[in-house]
Structure formats: structure tokens, C-alpha cells
């Protein structure tokens, strides 16, 4: 009787082991290679190779989400070419989507960036980025999934479409030039007009190179004050 009980226990343990193994295999088959890598990064601070990753040179408009949870992390509007070979961003899309913590691995003191929701390793943040933030979020492509701007609504990220409204159509500009008396006063007036992108004052007409205000005021140069502005 005792032997029968031991056999039954062994059979149950074997069946349970097979079930757990099958479940593990099923879950793993359901993940993409990038998701597997991101899961690995949860427990191991890992950096992919520069210039040999998916998004380092991606210039398309859109947002970058957590490959595990789909949570929005970064926007192409904050992406810049750092020359390092990794995707670099001046800011996260929302400061509450990432967390920072001290990383002392590999004999260095760095600031690690992790996704708040999935707790996966994203990369590091350094203080050598562009103004005004001065920050560079150096991120692994393997931790990200890119959603093109034109697919945001379809993918369920329509609330971020406003970031790319100005890029839907290129702004057309032209150049206009006007003769004016006191061009600083005229420049200020034109600068307040709707549609004026920028203004620049100077002199036009005549043949003198690099004239000064005093030269033109002498009325001997055949130059006149002018105002140029793109519209």
C-alpha cells in the first residue's frame, strides 16, 4: 500500500512538472525576440551594440513605447542624433513613465533609466544632451517598439497625435523686402503681424560693401534702409 502511495505521488509530481514546462514554453513562444530581450534586461543591466540596433537612426515621426507593456515612453519630437549609435532623447514623453536609479555595475557610477510599469531596463541618462534640458536619455532599441505618427489613432495612442500635427504639412514661406526709414521701428511693427516668421534689417541698393548706418545717413551711398522678412 505504501509503495502505491509513493508511485501516485511521483506520477502527480511528474505530471505537474510537465504542465509547468508546457506553460513556460507556451509563454515563451508567445513573446517576440525583442520582448524576450527586454525581459532579460529586467534582471540584467545590458547594453546593445551601437550603430547595430533597430532605432538608432530612425528619423520617422512617431512615439516609442515599452515593448513589454505598450506604455508610451519617448517621442520622436525629443529624439536627436547624439552620434553615439543609440537612440537618444532629450526628455521622456511623460516624466512619470520612467524611473531613475543609481547603477554601479562595470565599475562605473551611472544613472539607470527603467520603465516604471514593467520595471525593465531601458538605458541610462547622461548630462551631455542639448539645451534646454542638457540631458541625453541613451536607450536600447530592444526595449522599445515604434508607433508611426500616422498609425497612432489605429494603435490606440490617439492622445499623442497632437505632437505631430505641425509635421503633417510643410509650412511654405516666402521672402518680402521693403524700403523703410527708421528700420528698427518698422521691424518692431512687422514683427507683431500674424504670419511673419522672422525679420532682418539692413541696406539695399548702391554699391558700397559693408556700409554703416553713418554711411547711409550721409545720403552719398545711394543705399536705403530696408526690411526683409519671410512670410
61 vs 75: CA distance, rounded Å: 8
**CA nearest neighbour of 206 among 226, 177, 182:** 226
DSSP summary character for residue 218: T
**CA nearest neighbour of 36 among 73, 74, 66, 67:** 67
DSSP-derived 3-state class of residue 155: helix
- pLDDT by residue for the chain (231 residues), tens only, comes to 555 555 666 566 555 555 544 444 443 444 455 555 554 444 455 678 999 999 999 999 999 999 999 999 999 999 999 999 999 999 999 989 999 999 998 888 999 999 999 999 999 999 999 988 899 999 999 999 999 999 999 999 999 999 998 644 555 666 677 666 665 566 667 666 766 666 666 656 666 666 666 766 666 655 455 545 444
225 vs 217: CA distance, rounded Å: 9
Q: Which residues pair with 224 in a beta bridge?
A: 204
5 vs 2: CA distance, rounded Å: 5
**For residue 226, how many C-alpha atoms fall within 13 Å in the half-sphere facing its CB?**
15
Predicted pLDDT at 148: 98
DSSP-derived 3-state class of residue 201: strand
**Residue ranges of E strands in 87-172:** 88-89, 98-103, 110-115, 121-126, 136-139, 144-148
Predicted pLDDT at 189: 72
DSSP summary character for residue 205: S
The cell for 156 is: 490606440
169 vs 181: CA distance, rounded Å: 37
Catalytic residues: 138
**DSSP calls for 44-85:** S---PPTTSSSSTT---SEEEEETTT--EEEEGGGEE--SSS
Residue 34 φ then ψ, to 5°? -65, -40
Predicted pLDDT at 37: 54
Predicted pLDDT at 193: 72
Q: Which residues pair with 192 in a beta bridge?
A: none
Q: How big is the CA angle at 95 (ends 94 and 101), to the nearest 5 degrees?
A: 140
Amino acid at each position: 500500500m505504501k509503495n502505491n502511495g509513493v508511485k501516485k505521488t511521483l506520477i502527480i509530481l511528474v505530471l505537474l512538472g510537465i504542465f509547468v514546462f508546457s506553460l513556460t514554453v507556451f509563454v515563451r513562444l508567445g513573446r517576440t525576440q525583442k520582448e524576450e530581450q527586454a525581459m532579460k534586461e529586467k534582471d540584467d543591466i545590458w547594453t546593445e551594440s551601437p550603430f547595430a540596433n533597430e532605432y538608432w537612426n530612425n528619423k520617422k515621426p512617431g512615439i516609442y513605447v515599452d515593448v513589454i507593456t505598450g506604455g508610451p515612453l519617448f517621442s520622436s519630437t525629443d529624439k536627436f542624433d547624439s552620434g553615439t549609435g543609440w537612440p537618444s532623447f532629450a526628455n521622456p514623453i511623460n516624466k512619470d513613465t520612467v524611473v531613475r536609479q543609481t547603477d554601479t555595475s562595470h565599475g562605473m557610477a551611472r544613472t539607470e533609466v527603467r520603465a516604471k510599469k514593467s520595471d525593465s531596463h531601458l538605458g541610462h541618462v547622461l548630462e551631455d544632451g542639448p539645451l534646454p534640458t542638457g540631458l541625453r536619455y541613451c536607450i536600447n532599441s530592444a526595449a522599445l517598439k515604434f508607433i508611426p505618427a500616422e498609425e497612432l489613432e489605429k494603435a490606440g495612442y490617439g492622445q499623442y497625435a497632437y505632437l505631430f500635427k505641425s509635421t503633417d504639412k510643410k509650412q511654405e514661406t516666402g521672402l518680402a523686402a521693403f524700403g523703410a526709414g527708421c528700420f528698427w521701428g518698422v521691424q518692431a511693427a512687422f514683427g507683431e503681424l500674424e504670419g511673419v516668421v522672422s525679420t532682418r534689417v539692413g541696406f539695399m541698393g548702391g554699391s558700397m560693401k559693408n556700409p554703416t548706418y553713418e554711411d547711409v545717413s550721409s545720403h552719398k551711398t545711394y543705399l536705403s534702409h530696408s526690411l526683409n522678412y519671410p512670410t
